[in-house]
A and B are shown apart, each in its own frame.
Chain A
Amino acid sequence: MGQQRITRAECAHVAALARLELTDEELERFTGQLDELLDHVAEVEALDVGGLAPTMHALPIANVLRPDVVGEVLDRDEVLAGAPLAEDGQFRVPPVLGEAP
Chain B
Amino acid sequence: MTAVEIAAAVRSGQRLARSVVDEHLGAIEAGEADVHAFNLVIADQARTRADEIDGAVAAGKDPGPLAGVPVALKDNMCTRGLATTCSSRILEGWEPPYDATVVKQLHNAGAILVGKTNMDEFAMGSSTENSAFGPTRNPCDLSRVPGGSSGGSAAAVAAGFAPVALGSDTGGSIRQPAALCGVVGVKPTYGLVSRYGLVAFASSLDQIGPFTTTVADSAAVLDVISGPDGRDSTSIGEPQPPVSDTLGDGVDGLRIGVLAELSGDGIAPDVAARLQAAVGALTSAGARVAEASAPAAVYGLSAYYLIAPAEASSNLARYDGVRYGLRVDASSTPDMNTATRSAGFGDEVKRRIMIGTYALSAGYYDAYYGKAQKVRTLIINDFASVWEQFDLLVSPTSPTTAFSLGERTADPMAMYMSDVCTVPVNLTGQAAMSVPYGVGDDGLPVGVQILAPALGEPIMFRAAAVLEASL
Interface string of B198-241 (1 = CB under 8 A from A): 00000110000000000000000000000000100110100000
| B176 at the binding interface (Cβ < 8 Å) | no
Q: Using a Cβ cutoff of 8 Å, how many contacts connect chains A and B? A: 177
Chain B residue nearest to A96 in the complex (CB) = B333
Residues on the B chain within 8 Å of A26, using CB = 347, 350
Output the residue of B336, B354, B381 with the most chain A CB within 10 A: B354
Given A37-B412, A41-B368, the answer on whether A14 and B361 have CB atoms closer than 8 Å is: yes
Residues on the B chain within 8 Å of A6, using CB = 358
CB distance from A36 to the nearest CB of B (A): 5
CB distance from A47 to the nearest CB of B (A): 6
Which A5-24 residues have C-beta < 8 A from chain B? 6, 10-11, 14-15, 17-22
Cβ–Cβ contact B327 & A85, under 8 A: yes
Contact of A74 among B98, B233, B331 (CB under 8 A): B98
| B61 at the binding interface (Cβ < 8 Å) | no
Assembly CA distance A18 to B413 (angstroms): 22
Chain A residue nearest to B416 in the complex (CB) = A37
Q: Is the interface of B mostly helix, strand, loop or mixed?
A: helix
| B158 at the binding interface (Cβ < 8 Å) | no
Cβ–Cβ contact A94 & B331, under 8 A: yes
Given A37-B305, A75-B97, A96-B332, the answer on whether A84 and B321 have CB atoms closer than 8 Å is: yes
Assembly CA distance A40 to B298 (angstroms): 12
Given A30-B351, A54-B374, the answer on whether A82 and B429 have CB atoms closer than 8 Å is: no
Contact of A18 among B230, B321, B354 (CB under 8 A): B354
Interface string of B351-378 (1 = CB under 8 A from A): 1011101100100000110111111111
Interface residues on B, range: 35 or more
Contact of A14 among B204, B233, B357 (CB under 8 A): B357
Cβ–Cβ contact B322 & A93, under 8 A: yes
| A53 at the binding interface (Cβ < 8 Å) | yes
Cβ–Cβ contact B342 & A58, under 8 A: no
Contact of B342 among A10, A20, A66 (CB under 8 A): A20
Chain B residue nearest to A64 in the complex (CB) = B233
Which A26-46 residues have C-beta < 8 A from chain B? 26, 30, 33-34, 36-38, 40-41, 43-45
Cβ–Cβ contact B374 & A95, under 8 A: no
CB distance from A101 to the nearest CB of B (A): 4
Interface string of B49-91 (1 = CB under 8 A from A): 0000000000000000000000000000000000000000000
Cβ–Cβ contact A55 & B376, under 8 A: yes
Residues on the B chain within 8 Å of A17, using CB = 357, 361
Which B375-429 residues have C-beta < 8 A from chain A? 375-378, 380-381, 412-413, 416, 427-429
Assembly CA distance A64 to B372 (angstroms): 25
Cβ–Cβ contact B336 & A93, under 8 A: yes
Cβ–Cβ contact A59 & B191, under 8 A: yes
| A49 at the binding interface (Cβ < 8 Å) | yes
Given A14-B358, A34-B358, A82-B323, the answer on whether A54 and B377 have CB atoms closer than 8 Å is: yes
Cβ–Cβ contact A54 & B334, under 8 A: no
Given A41-B302, A84-B325, the answer on whether A49 and B429 have CB atoms closer than 8 Å is: no
Cβ–Cβ contact A91 & B204, under 8 A: no
Cβ–Cβ contact B341 & A41, under 8 A: no
Chain A residue nearest to B305 in the complex (CB) = A41
Residues on the A chain within 8 Å of B320, using CB = 19
Assembly CA distance A88 to B378 (angstroms): 52
Residues on the B chain within 8 Å of A70, using CB = none
| A99 at the binding interface (Cβ < 8 Å) | yes
Residues on the B chain within 8 Å of A40, using CB = 301-302, 305, 413
Chain A residue nearest to B413 in the complex (CB) = A36
The 5 A-B residue pairs with the shortest CB-CB distance in the complex, in nearest-first order: A58-B429, A54-B373, A84-B327, A101-B334, A49-B374
- In the complex, 14 of the A-B residue pairs with CB atoms within 8 angstroms, ordered by the A residue number, are A15-B354, A17-B361, A20-B342, A30-B354, A47-B374, A58-B204, A78-B97, A83-B323, A84-B325, A94-B335, A95-B333, A99-B334, A101-B332, A101-B338
**Chain B interface residues toward A at CB < 8 A:** 94-98, 190-191, 203-204, 230, 233-234, 236, 299, 301-303, 305-306, 313, 320-327, 329-339, 341-342, 345, 347, 350-351, 353-355, 357-358, 361, 367-368, 370-378, 380-381, 412-413, 416, 427-430, 454
